[in-house]
């Protein structure tokens, strides 16, 4: 059985009437605080006829007229809820609302006709919150900072013993392994231009390794 136009409706019923998914209606509620369904016992929300008309007007502005959410918010601020709700019966032209909003800006300005860039800046100024002020002390209250007192350096009577320098750390196998891992991590052909120098180093390392091995064998014998 169809409800009367004055009956309250659930969100499912409103979604069916407006042919709009329920999650879209909930999203519009989060963006337009003018939509205020009433709550009954149990926390269930019901939409009054005025809420349904407002949702229908918002749907027309967004879907049929191609306005953005920011543009619809501006029309709601400038023209009020009744104007947007009146769009549900196609009795009010969207062009009239936009023209009236522009005329209101011109009236408040009173000096020049606003350009599209000015209207965009005005919309941004309305949505961006004002930055908080930072307290700064007055120069008279701060006063003059006293100059730093020079500190006299006292030389010791006797020379302090100089700490012995630490012996240089000998490379261990872990360092060699780290160096080898770095070499392996290089991209292919990265050392191609240094092949002659690398060959000389390889021969020296091989000779050094043979010498160390021979000394180790002689010491064990």
Quote the pLDDT of residue 71: 94
What does pTM read for this prediction? 0.40
Quote the pLDDT of residue 47: 94
Residue 16 confidence (pLDDT) above 90: yes
Enclosing domain of residue 97: 11-127
Which residue among 127, 154, 174 closes a domain?
Answer: 127
Which residue among 127, 149, 178 closes a domain?
Answer: 127
Q: Pick the more confident residue, 41 or 64.
A: 64
**Is 163 inside a domain boundary?**
no
Same domain, 39 and 112: yes
**E strands, the chain, in order:** 38-39, 45-46
Phi-psi region of 141 (alpha: psi -120 to 50; beta: other; left: phi over 0): alpha
Same domain, 206 and 100: no
Same domain, 118 and 200: no
């Amino acid at each position: 059985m169809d409800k009367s136009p004055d009956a309250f409706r659930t969100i499912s019923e409103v979604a069916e009437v407006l042919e709009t998914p329920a999650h879209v209606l909930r999203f519009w509620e989060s963006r337009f605080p003018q939509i205020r369904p009433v709550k009954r016992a149990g926390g269930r929300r019901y939409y009054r006829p005025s809420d349904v008309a407002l949702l229908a007007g918002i749907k027309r502005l967004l879907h049929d007229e191609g306005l953005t959410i920011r543009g619809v918010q501006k029309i709601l601020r400038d023209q009020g809820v009744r104007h947007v709700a009146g769009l549900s019966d196609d009795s009010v032209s969207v062009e009239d609302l936009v023209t009236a909003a522009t005329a209101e800006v011109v009236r408040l300005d009173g000096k020049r006709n606003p350009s599209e860039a000015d209207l965009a800046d005005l919309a941004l100024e309305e949505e961006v919150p004002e930055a908080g002020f930072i307290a700064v002390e007055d120069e008279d209250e701060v006063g003059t900072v006293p100059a730093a007192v020079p500190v006299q350096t006292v030389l010791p009577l006797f020379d302090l013993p100089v700490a012995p320098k630490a012996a240089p750390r000998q490379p261990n196998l872990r360092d060699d392994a780290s160096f080898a891992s770095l070499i392996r991590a290089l991209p292919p052909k990265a050392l191609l231009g240094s092949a002659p120098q690398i060959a000389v180093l390889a021969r020296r390392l091989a000779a050094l390794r043979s010498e160390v091995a021979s000394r180790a064998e002689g010491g064990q014998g």
